[in-house]
Amino acid sequence: MKILLVDDEVELTEPVSRVLKREGYQVDVAYDGEKGSELAAKTEYNLLILDWMLPKQTGLEVCQKLRAEGRLTPVLFLTAKDTIDDRVRGLDAGADDYLVKPFELRELLARVRALLRRGMVLESGILTETEKPVLLRVGDLELDTENKLAYRQGRLIQLSEKESQLLEYLMRHPGQLLSHTQIYKHLWGTDEEPPSSNVLAAQIRLLRRKIEAEGDAPLIHSVYGKGYRFAGVGE
C-alpha cells in the first residue's frame, strides 16, 4: 500500500512517516501543496494524508484538484481547524476523513486502516462484502467498527465490545424506532430479556455518557415504553 504524506511540519512528518513504514506501508513525503499535487498526479497512491494549511497550495486545493480530475484516492486531512464549518468545508472538498491536531499515532493508524479498506475498489467499481466501509457517520459522530473507536468533533471515544455493538446497531438505523426486543436480540442473540430488565437501560446510559459530552446535542432518544431512536445532529 502506497501513502503520500503532505505536511510542512518536519517534526510531524518524520514520526508519522516512520510509524507508517513500520506498519508496512510505502510512504512518500512532500512539504508543500504544489509538490504534493505533482506527486499525486503522477503516482497511484492508495491514500493521501494532507495538512490543511500548506505552502504554495493548501491541502484543500490539492484535494479539490484531485477530485476535479476524477481521482477517487481516499484523502485524510490533518489540521488544527476543528470547527464544524471547517469539517464541512473539508468534506465538501472531497476529503474522506478529518483528524484534528494534536492526535495520537494509534488513532491515526486506525483511520488509515479504515480508509485503505474503503479504497479497495474492484475494477468494476463494486466493493466486495469484506471490503465494504467500516467507518460509519451519523451527524458529527463517526464509528470505526473494527477498532471499536468513535469520534465526535475530533474527540476520541473508546468503546467496550458491547458499547460498540450497540452504537453500530443504532447508527445503521438512524431515525428508526428500535424496540427493546430488537436491541436485546441484536446484543444478546435472543428474543428473551437478559437476567435483569435494567441491563439495556444501563448499557444505553453508559453509551450516552461517552458520546454525549456536555454541550453536545443528544443522539440517543428514549421512546417511553417502546425503545430508542438514534438521530444525528439537526434531525
Kindly tell me if the per-residue pLDDT of 213 is higher than 70.
yes
pLDDT digit string (tens) for 159-173?
888 888 899 999 888
pLDDT of residue 32: 87
The answer on pLDDT for 233 being more than 80 is no
> Is the per-residue pLDDT at 156 higher than 90?
no
17 versus 121: the higher-pLDDT residue is 17
CATH of residue 48's domain is 3.40.50.2300
On whether residue 133 sits in a domain, the answer given is no
10 and 54 both lie in a single domain: yes
Does the residue 235 lie in any domain? Answer: no
Count other Cβ atoms within 10 Å, centred on residue 91.
16
Q: Are residues 103 and 181 in the same domain?
A: no
Residue 129 has pLDDT above 90, yes or no: no
| Calpha distance 207→129 (Å, rounded) | 28
pLDDT, tens only, 52-108: 888 888 888 888 888 777 777 888 888 776 656 666 666 666 777 778 887 888 888
> 132 or 220, which is more confident?
220
**Within this chain, do residues 66 and 17 fall inside the same structural domain, yes or no?**
yes
Amino acid 130: pLDDT: 43
Residue 154 lies in a domain: yes
Q: Which of 127, 150, 183 is the last residue of a domain?
A: 127
User: What pLDDT sits at residue 220?
Assistant: 92
Q: The whole model's pTM is what? A: 0.54
172-196 mean pLDDT: 76
pLDDT at 79: 79
